[in-house]
């Protein structure tokens, strides 16, 4: 998995998961993008950023967010915001957007992605006796959709 360092610039991602970890500088949140890229931020900055967006580590999954560092008065702050460029890869936000697909093609592709997520994720989780909910299906479908709509 790739790790995006905040010092490399802002990142826009569809969040596939969030976990608490212990890093070199104390407790952290690891935000994992739909493409597998990890972004580590301090637990305090992550909790505050999510709270400002009325989200939690559980409810941010499937959401498109932008995380960036800003410097002000000699201090570095981590800012979170909803949205960004939907479907943008988990890299700097200066990436160019792909040409838009026709709406009917997007709907058909999304339907296929949801069906595939249910079949693949549902089947594998059932075999492993792991409960699956709508958020997990939505995140898997979003991952497939983003990859397929490029």
Crossing angle of helices 134-148 and 103-127, rounded to 10° = 130
Per residue in 13-68, pLDDT tens? 999 999 999 988 889 999 999 888 999 999 999 999 999 999 999 999 989 999 99
Spatial distance between the Cα atoms of 48 and 41, rounded to a whole number of angstroms: 11
Output the pTM of the full model. Answer: 0.56
Residue 49, Cβ neighbours under 10 Å: how many?
Answer: 22
Give the side-chain half-sphere CA count within 13 A for 4: 26
- The domain locations on the chain are 6-82, 103-148
């Amino acid at each position: 998995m790739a790790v995006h360092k905040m010092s490399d610039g802002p990142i826009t991602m569809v969040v596939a998961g969030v976990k608490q970890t212990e890093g070199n500088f104390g407790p952290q949140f690891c935000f994992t993008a739909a493409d597998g890229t990890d972004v580590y931020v301090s637990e305090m900055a992550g909790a505050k950023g999510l709270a400002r967006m009325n989200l939690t580590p559980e409810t941010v999954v499937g959401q498109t967010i932008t995380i960036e560092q800003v410097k002000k008065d000699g201090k570095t702050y981590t800012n979170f915001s909803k949205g960004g460029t939907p479907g943008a890869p988990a890299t700097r936000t200066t990436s160019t957007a792909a040409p838009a697909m026709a709406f009917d093609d997007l709907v058909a592709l999304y339907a296929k992605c949801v069906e595939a997520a249910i079949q693949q994720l549902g089947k594998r989780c059932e075999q492993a006796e792991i409960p699956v909910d709508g958020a997990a299906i939505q995140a898997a479908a979003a991952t497939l959709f983003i990859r397929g709509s490029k």
